[in-house]
C-alpha cells in the first residue's frame, strides 16, 4: 500500500474562503481546565478511550513509515498507550501537560520495558525544543483538547525538521450539516470528558498554515481523521 492515499474531495475543500478567519470551535478552554479534566479521567482513560480508538493509533504509526534512527515527538502522550507500538530502533520523546497521565505513562513504559521512549511534562503550545529537532511530530487525539490548537500545530511545525512529517489524529466537525449542528451543541459538554466535538478542520489547517498530503478516516465509526502533512 502506498504511504499516502490519493487526495480526496475533503482535501480539495480544505481551503475554504473564510477558513483562515473563522472560529475553530464554539468552546473555549484554558490550560487549568484541561489539566483538571485529565487529572480526573486519568484512572479511566485506558478503559474509555483505549480499545475504541486503538485502530487509529495503529494506522497512524503504520503510516509514519518510521525508519531506524528517526526522532519522533509524540505531543499529548497521555498514559503512554502508544509507547509499545513504536519500532524499538527509533527514538521517541513523549510530552504531556498532565502529571497524572504522565505517571501512568511512566508505569506503562517501565512495565513493558520500553527503553526508547522518554517522557517529559510540557505545555504543547510552548515546546522546549530547538527548531528542526524531530523527523516526525505526532499529535494523537489531542488537538481538540488544547486551549489553542493553532499554537500547538505551529509549535509542532517549528520543531519538525524540513521534509519531516507532521501527523494529527483527531476528531473534527462533520461536513454533514445536521451532524455539525449536533456537534456544536454538545461541544460545551464533551470538553468535560476530554475533547471539543466541533473542531473545524479546514479552519484549523488554514490558520496553522499546514498543507495536508492526505486525510484518511480511521476507527469505527469513521468519524476520526488521520491528517498527514510535511514541513516544506
Q: Which helix (H) or strand (E) holds 218?
A: strand 212-218
| Model confidence at 12: pLDDT above 50 | no
Q: Is 2 part of a structural domain of the chain?
A: no
Q: For residue 181, what pLDDT is reported?
A: 96
Domain range for 41: 9-230
What is the spatial distance between Cα 38 and Cα 122, in angstroms, rounded to a whole number? 14
Query: Is 200 a member of any domain?
Result: yes
Q: Please give the model's pTM, rounded to 2 decimal places.
A: 0.89
Residue 3, in any domain of the structure = no
CATH number of the domain encompassing residue 79: 3.40.50.150
The answer to whether residue 35 sits within a structural domain is: yes
Distance between CA 38 and CA 34 in Å, rounded?
Answer: 6
Q: What is the pLDDT of residues 104-161, one digit of tens each?
A: 999 999 999 999 999 999 999 999 999 999 999 999 999 999 999 999 999 999 999 9
Q: Is residue 202 included in any domain, yes or no?
A: yes
Q: What is the pLDDT of residue 4?
A: 38
CB contact burial 119-157 (16+ within 10 A = b; e otherwise):
beebbbbebebeeebbbbbbbbbbbbbbbbbbbbbebbb
Cβ proximity of 174 and 184 under 8 Å = no
Task: State pLDDT tens for residues 189-225.
Answer: 999 888 899 999 999 999 999 999 999 999 999 999 9
State the Cα–Cα distance between residues 127 and 2, nearest whole angstrom: 32
CB count in 10 Å sphere of residue 27: 19
Model confidence over 41-93: pLDDT tens digits? 888 888 888 888 999 999 999 999 999 999 999 999 999 999 999 999 999 99
Nearest CA-CA partner of 167 in 19, 83, 61, 84? 61
Q: Is residue 120 part of a domain?
A: yes
Is 1 domain-assigned? no
Question: Cα(21)–Cα(228) distance, rounded to whole angstroms?
Answer: 22
Q: Domains in the chain: how many in total?
A: 1
Asked whether residue 91 is domain-assigned, the answer is yes
Amino acid at each position: 500500500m502506498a504511504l499516502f492515499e490519493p487526495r480526496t474531495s475533503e482535501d480539495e475543500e480544505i481551503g475554504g474562503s473564510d477558513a483562515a478567519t473563522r472560529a475553530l470551535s464554539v468552546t473555549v478552554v484554558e490550560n487549568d481546565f484541561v489539566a483538571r479534566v485529565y487529572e480526573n479521567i486519568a484512572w479511566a482513560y485506558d478503559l474509555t478511550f483505549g480499545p475504541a480508538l486503538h485502530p487509529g493509533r495503529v494506522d497512524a504509526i503504520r503510516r509514519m513509515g518510521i525508519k531506524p534512527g528517526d526522532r519522533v515527538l509524540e505531543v499529548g502522550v497521555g498514559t503512554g498507550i502508544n509507547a509499545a507500538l513504536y519500532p524499538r530502533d527509533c527514538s521517541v520523546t513523549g510530552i504531556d501537560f498532565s502529571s497524572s497521565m504522565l505517571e501512568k505513562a511512566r508505569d506503562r513504559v517501565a512495565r513493558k520495558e520500553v527503553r526508547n521512549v522518554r517522557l517529559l511534562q510540557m505545555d504543547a503550545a510552548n515546546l522546549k525544543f530547538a527548531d528542526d529537532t524531530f523527523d516526525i511530530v505526532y499529535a494523537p487525539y489531542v488537538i481538540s483538547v488544547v486551549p489553542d490548537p493553532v499554537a500547538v500545530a505551529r509549535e509542532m511545525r517549528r520543531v519538525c525538521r524540513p521534509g519531516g512529517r507532521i501527523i494529527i489524529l483527531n476528531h473534527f466537525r462533520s461536513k454533514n450539516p445536521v451532524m455539525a449542528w449536533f456537534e456544536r451543541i454538545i461541544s460545551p459538554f464533551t470538553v468535560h470528558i476530554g475533547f471539543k466535538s466541533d473542531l473545524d478542520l479546514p479552519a484549523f489547517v488554514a490558520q496553522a498554515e499546514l498543507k495536508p498530503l492526505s486525510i484518511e478516516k480511521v476507527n469505527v465509526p469513521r468519524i476520526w481523521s488521520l491528517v498527514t502533512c510535511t514541513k516544506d
